[in-house]
Amino acid sequence: MPGPQAPLVLTLGDPEGIGPEIALKAWAALKPDGPVFAVTGGLDILSRTARLLKLAPPAAIAACADAHHAFAASLPVLPDRPGSPALASIEDAVSRIRAGDAAGLVTNPVSKAALYAEGFAFPGHTEFLAHLTHDMALAGERGPVMMLAAPQLKTVLVTIHQALRDAIASLTPEKIVHTARVTHQALRRDFAIASPRLALAGLNPHAGEGGSMGCEEIDVLAPALAQLRSEGIDISGPLPPDTMFHAEARERYDAAVCLYHDQGLIPVKTLDFHGGVNVTLGLPIVRTSPDHGTAKDIAGRGIARPDSLIAAIRLADTIAANRRGVRA
């Protein structure tokens, strides 16, 4: 039987956003029962934010393992690393997971514009994490694949941050097959679903209506479905997107494979706007994130909601336990 699970590690995110505030509020909500986590740096700003929120001051720790002893009384904070606070905290978190000091990573939102101004060469967090972990072993097909997870619905995206016309033009059977394979493997490994059921959303109204409203379902989606079914993956579709997200339809699958950004995000955010979690599938490390941005317009006002971060922390802990063979 594996020993106790290591704490999670949480990045501070953009220090000018709501990351410090929701980190402290998440700690206040979780300190009675956990999961235990430590923040990678930012002791000064977290101390100022704790005073604003009238919470106990955070505690400096040297290693994630120390978080177990500090967590009931104070938010545990690891030492700052030199360099950009946002990037250094991500690198520090990955190195601690590699060393076995942390069980998984939860990332607070960062400002992509600020990162790009510093010469950041990756589209975002996810691609940077894939780069940092490219040499780590992972059974099965690698991602990254973006999942939006809420208790009522999980969706994954074949294309993400592209203009809609570019997303449609870039769809291929190979991309759909890759996304579905990674999702199938992750549902088994990370969510402990022994026999995952996937559903593929159509692209066109009525899923193309036999080609009368577009031929992508015939030319692109059908070959992908045939390939996946030949591999033993249980996947239905293509399903009309306007009828696959109501309660009865959701009972028929464990995750929906969506073809473009809004097709997957709108139903999750409609069902659970404050509690959705961004999960990166197909990485050798556990990574979740709250499903919102830096919210600089409300930073420092004490009104930010920590719901999505709390859900992300709990889900990261569950996935880490599932990967170790211990159900959380």
Binding residues for a divalent metal cation: 161, 206, 261
Retrieve residue 270's tokens: 């409609």
Query: Which residues are part of a known binding site?
Result: 125-126, 161, 206, 261, 269, 278, 287
> Please, which residues have CB within 8 angstroms of residue 258's CB and are 6 or more apart in sequence?
155, 156, 157, 158, 201, 241, 264
Q: In what order do the strands lie in the sheet with 145-150?
A: 59-60, 76-78, 37-40, 8-11, 105-106, 287-290, 277-281, 145-150, 153-157, 255-258, 197-201, 234-239
**43: which residues sit within 8 A by CB, 6+ positions away?**
58, 60, 77, 80
Smallest CA-to-CA distance from 61 within 83, 86, 92 is with: 92
Helices marked H in the chain: 19-30, 43-53, 67-70, 85-98, 112-117, 125-132, 164-170, 173-189, 216, 222-230, 247-250, 261-271, 307-324
Query: Can you say which residues are annotated as belonging to the binding site for substrate?
Result: 125-126, 269, 278, 287
Distance CA 44, CA 33 (A): 26
Query: CB count, 10 Å around CB of 7?
Result: 28
Residue 283 — left, alpha, or beta (φ > 0 → left; ψ -120 to 50 → alpha)?
beta
CA proximity to 101, closest of 9, 1, 10, 34 = 9
Q: Which of 322, 199, 298, 215 is nearest to 255 (CA)?
A: 199
